[in-house]
Amino acid sequence: MARISLRVDGMLVSDDVEPRTLLVHYLRETLGKTGTVVGCDTSNCGACTVHLDGESVKSCNMLAVQADGHEITTIEGLAATAGADLHPVQEAFRECHGLQCGYCTPGMIMQSVDLLNRNPKPTETEIREGLEGNLCRCTGYHNIVRAVQYASGQLEDATAGVSEP
């Protein structure tokens, strides 16, 4: 067993884990963070996407021990980073009907937030490229792209509002 200490959704946690434990399994089974889901376990679908020190990672593609000393944000802690009930990207997915069954949605939203952090005004092509590691079986992606465009506009308006005298 290996001792790991990290911050998850703002909470400091410390646990003994098997060195082979995947981060996604640690989040779900040890911490009960079941909002992060497993779609494939082979780093293809993106359903398990979380943020590691503010950047998206597929949590089935790294070991829990690799998160030692780092900060993880899951879909369950995302809204708190925006100081709201829902993060603006979560609001946008709801507003634009960017989901159907919802299975891909936690990962899709975490990846979208990372995309918008790096590129606040992405083109449609840049959105599709930025989300190419996240698969959705239901929506055909159209409303997901619309949701990211909507969130981009909302975040731009919020920034403009803050900067007004």
Q: For binding to ligand FES (CB under 6 A), which residues are involved? A: 38-41, 43-48, 58, 60, 99-105, 136-139
Q: Where are the alpha helices (DSSP H) in 86-137?
A: 88-95, 105-118, 124-130
CB of residue 135 vs ligand FES: minimum separation in angstroms? 7
CB of residue 49 vs ligand FES: minimum separation in angstroms? 7
CB of residue 164 vs ligand FES: minimum separation in angstroms? 37
Spell out the residues 6+ positions from residue 104 whose beta carbon is closer than 8 angstroms to its own: 39, 45, 46, 47, 134, 135, 136, 137, 138
DSSP secondary structure code for residue 27 in this structure: I
Spell out the residues 6+ positions from residue 63 whose beta carbon is closer than 8 angstroms to its own: 19, 20, 21, 22, 23
Which one, 49 or 152, has the nearer CB to ligand FES? 49
Which one, 14 or 42, has the nearer CB to ligand FES? 42
Which one, 38 or 52, has the nearer CB to ligand FES? 38
CB of residue 83 vs ligand FES: minimum separation in angstroms? 27
Which one, 6 or 131, has the nearer CB to ligand FES? 131
CB of residue 104 vs ligand FES: minimum separation in angstroms? 3
Quick check: helix, strand or coil at residue 123? coil
Which one, 74 or 139, has the nearer CB to ligand FES? 139
**In 10 A of CB 165, how many CB atoms?**
2
Q: Are 109 and 63 in contact (CB under 8 A)?
A: no
